Amino acid sequence: MKLYKLFTLLFAVCLLFPMTKSVGFAMATDSTILSSIQTIDPDILKYFPRWTVCQPEMQVKIQQAFTRLGFPATSLDLNRITITAAPQSSSVAQIILIQCGTATIKKADIAKIGKVATELTDKSTYCYKDVPLTELPDKDQRDAIINYKMPTNTTHSIVLSGFEQALKIGNEDVGFWIINKLGTDEVGYHFWSAGEAKTILQRPLIKNDDKDSKIAIPFLVNAKLGYGYRLNNEVATKDFLNVIPDRQLSIAQGGKFIAGLELFAPFHPQAGINFNLELPLQPVRRSNTVDFGSYRSYFISEDREDIGDETGIVDPTIPANRVREVVPILRATGQVTLFYNWWIDEKADNFFRADAGISYAEVREAAMFKSSNPVNRFDDYLGFDATNLLTYKPNEFADWLYLKLEYRNQKDFPFGMSIQYSNQILLGSAYVPLFGEWLYLEGKYSTPLTREARPFELKNFFMISPVLRLTI
């Protein structure tokens, strides 16, 4: 719970931050912010300084550095040396790309040229000429900027928010992500409303060699494997923020197995298919002693028939052979969807992704069987072995339907939005940048759309969080 409180505190700080009052919201998927940039608008480009080197001595040093790394002399040109840097607040720059003629050295390899790289970071020590902001970057510069914002060619990247915490490890060929996420967005239960969190290892498997799409879609196959774990009742006590409603849903002991696969078509990478599966690792059974204080529960309505005839059941309000207090348990979930990515203009300022397919979600009510001895609670357990407990799972077309549309804009003011319909729940998410490319604000909202809210669902659940992204 210490980790949870850390991110809740981060969210609380964001609410007090005055800059957020003037920022609008838009919607986007949680793990794809700014990943499809192909052309940088001048308003964004100003955050990425570029300059040419005009000092002969430095030009020779850079040429020699390229030669030591094995670049052929025919690809080098002393009069065509351009440096691209990350956004900076002083004369000392963080270099992300060095170009000499047609040869390039990317951020991951810059350390290999040693002292020359250190000298380049301080422009005050040599002659240079800034590239005008109105001059659009070439392909290599675009690639470097894209990788800096969605770093596939860096050793480490860190993402911290209330919704998700992620760590990128490795370079573009072998890199992978370790992700911790709260909630199950795929079925409309975001943040703590699902009563579960998950730790996932996400690994790209096959690189995309298609020259027209590899910038926005660097890999043809992405796999994930993980473990889902339950959030106990402490998460729902609103220690810091009284504006967030209590949740009712939980998952049972034993956790969940999580697996996923995203496949892009080799002959047309813009299209593909996505699989996601989350399965309980243990059944709910009498041998599993539980602490009822760590679960959310509710009383079923009076018009339900008697539930079971178990003995040793304690409830001060009803006879011993009737049980009305139940716990909703989120069980298996999964999706199979087809998707398509497309850009509506050459500059890729406007990007869309559409997903359509089927979704499955199962929630089962479990009876709370309590020891007849109020002092000794070792016999407390949850059970499905009682009559007239409800199971919520797909039984009509709308329950199965999964639709999602995502839009990202990279012109003027970059933002993104997405809207999803799954499990008959509408889920919208949004992000906007606050400062450069390292601090964003993200918001999510969900509500049952085509049916009444179930006893364990939050009818209107809105949550915002800052998103801190750092590249190392």
What angle is formed at CA 409 by the lines to CA 155 and CA 341, rounded to 5 degrees?
A: 75
The per-type count for the chain, helices as H runs and strands as E runs, is 7, 23
Torsion of CA 277, 278, 281, 282, to 10 degrees: -120
Percent of the chain with pLDDT over 90: 30
**Residue with the larger pLDDT of the pair 75 and 137:** 75
Res. 43 pLDDT band, cuts 50 70 90: low
Burial 416-441 (b: 16+ CB within 10 A, else e): bbbbbbbbbbbbbbbbbbbeebebbb
What residues contact residue 282 under an 8 Å CB cut-off, 6+ apart?
A: 252, 253, 254, 255, 288
Q: H or E stretch including 50?
A: strand 50-53
> What rounded mean pLDDT belongs to the chain?
77
- Count of CA atoms in the C-beta half-sphere (13 A) of 362: 12
What separation in angstroms does the CA of 21 have from each of 25, 27, 434? Answer: 11, 17, 11
Percent of the chain with pLDDT over 70: 69
What angle is formed at CA 236 by the lines to CA 231 and CA 239, rounded to 5 degrees?
A: 120
- Out of 23-32, 122-131, 297-306, 321-330, pick the least confident: 23-32
Q: Is the pLDDT of residue 433 over 60?
A: yes
The tens digit of pLDDT for each residue in 163-213 reads: 999 888 876 556 788 999 999 999 999 998 998 999 999 998 988 888 777
**Residue with the larger pLDDT of the pair 29 and 224:** 224
Burial class (CB in 10 A: 0-12, 13-18, 19+), 454: middle
Res. 236 pLDDT band, cuts 50 70 90: very low
Helix (H, G, I), strand (E, B) or coil at 185: helix
pLDDT at 40: 45
Q: Is the pLDDT of residue 117 over 80?
A: yes
pLDDT at 26: 31
Q: What is the pTM of this model?
A: 0.67
Residue type, 368: M
Alpha carbons 421 and 403: distance in angstroms, whole number: 5
**Residue with the larger pLDDT of the pair 47 and 227:** 227
The tens digit of pLDDT for each residue in 275-299 reads: 999 999 988 877 667 777 778 788 8
Q: Which two tokens stand for residue 418?
A: 């997405």
- Determine the average pLDDT of the residues in 2-13: 44
